[in-house]
C-alpha cells in the first residue's frame, strides 16, 4: 500500500512502488485530467505540482514522493475551474483538442507563481510542454492576460454567451 497527499487529502492505495505518479493518479485515484503523452517527460501532458513545483509525473515513481509532499493535480487546482489561469484559458478559447491543456495550465500556474509578470523569454523557457494542435500563441496571450488582469490586450474579440467579450 502507498499513501500520497493529493489535492488536500491523504490517499492510500495499492500500487507497486515503481509505479509512476501519473499512473497512480489516473488508475488508482481516478484523476484522469493528468494525461499520458510520452512517458519520458518530454511532452508535459502529465504535469502536476509537487509542493508547488511543476513536475512531469510520468517518470516520477510514487516511492520517491513522501507522504507529506503535497501533490496537486488539475482537479485540485480549483473546485470549479475558477482559478485565474483556467478562467483566462476559457475566455481566450485556448484549447483545440485540449489533450495537452491541463498540463499547460499546471505549468502556467507555476510560472505565474514564480514570475507574476513573465516576459516572452520567461514564457518560452517555462512553457516547454508540447501542443500538436498549435495553441501556443493563445497560451502566451492567456498567460499575459493573467499577468495583466485583462484579456483585452490579446485582441481576440471572442464573444461569450454571457455577453462578455474577451
Partner 1 sequence: MSAAVVDRRGFLKVSASAAGLTLAMQVPFGAQAQDASPEVTVWVVMKPDDAIVVRIARSEMGQGTLTGLAQLVAEELDANWAKVTTEYPTPGQNLARNRAWGNFSTGGSRGIRESHDYVRKGGAAARMMLVQAAANEWKVPVAECRAANSVITHGPTGRTISYGKVASAAARLPVPTDVPLKDPKDWKIAGKRLARLDTVDKVTGKQVYGADLKLPGMLNAAIRDCPVFGGKVRSFNAAAVASRPGVKKIVQVGDSAVAVVADTWWRAKSALDALPIEWDEGPNAKVSSADVAAILKAGLDAPEAAVGNRVGDAKAALASAARRIEAVYSYPHQNHATMEPMNATARWTPERCEVWTPTQNGEAALAATSEAAGLPARQCEVYKIHLGGGFGRRGMTDWIRQAVAIAKEMPGTPVKLLWTREEDMLHGRFHPVTQCKLQAGLDAQGNVTALHMRISGQSILAGVNPQGIQGGRDPVVFQGLNPPGPEASIGYTVPNLLIDHAMRNPPVPPGFWRGVNLNQNTIYLECFIDEIAAATRQDPLALRRKLMAQHPKHLAVLNAVAQKVGWERPPADIGGQKVFRGLAQTMGFGSYVAACAEVSVSADGDLKVHRIVAATDPGHAVNPQQIEAQVEGSFAYGLSAALFGECTLKNGRIEQDNFSTYPVVHMQHMPKVETVLVPSGGFWGGVGEPTIAVAAPAVLNAIFAATGKRIRDLPLKHHSLKRA
Which residues sit at the interface with partner 1, rule CB under 8 A? Answer: 15-16, 19-20, 23, 26-28, 30-40, 42-43, 45, 73-75, 78, 80-81, 86, 89-90, 93-102, 105, 123-125, 127-140, 156-161, 166
CA distance 129 to 45: 7
Q: Toward partner 1, which CB reaches closer, 14 or 149?
A: 14
Cβ 69 to partner 1 shortest distance, Å: 20
CA distance 13 to 16: 10
Q: Toward partner 1, which CB reaches closer, 25 or 68?
A: 25
Q: What are phi and psi of 163, to 5 degrees?
A: 95, -10
Q: Toward partner 1, which CB reaches closer, 49 or 68?
A: 49
User: Please, is 76 exposed, middle or buried when counting C-beta atoms within 10 Å of its C-beta (0-12, 13-18, 19+)?
Assistant: middle
Amino acid at each position: 500500500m502507498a499513501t500520497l497527499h493529493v489535492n488536500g487529502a491523504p490517499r492510500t492505495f495499492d500500487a507497486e512502488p515503481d509505479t509512476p505518479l501519473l499512473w497512480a493518479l489516473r488508475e488508482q485515484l481516478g484523476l484522469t485530467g493528468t494525461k499520458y503523452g510520452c512517458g519520458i517527460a518530454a511532452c508535459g501532458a502529465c504535469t502536476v505540482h509537487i509542493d508547488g513545483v511543476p513536475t512531469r509525473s510520468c517518470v516520477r515513481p510514487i516511492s520517491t514522493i513522501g507522504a507529506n509532499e503535497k501533490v496537486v493535480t488539475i482537479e485540485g487546482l480549483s473546485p470549479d475551474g475558477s482559478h485565474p489561469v483556467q478562467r483566462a484559458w476559457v475566455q481566450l478559447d485556448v484549447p483545440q483538442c485540449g489533450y495537452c491543456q491541463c498540463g499547460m495550465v499546471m505549468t502556467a500556474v507555476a510560472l505565474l507563481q514564480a514570475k507574476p509578470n513573465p516576459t516572452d523569454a520567461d514564457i518560452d523557457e517555462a512553457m516547454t510542454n508540447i501542443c500538436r494542435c498549435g495553441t501556443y500563441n493563445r497560451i502566451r496571450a492567456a498567460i499575459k492576460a493573467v499577468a495583466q488582469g485583462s484579456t483585452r490586450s490579446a485582441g481576440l474579440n471572442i464573444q461569450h454567451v454571457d455577453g462578455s467579450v474577451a
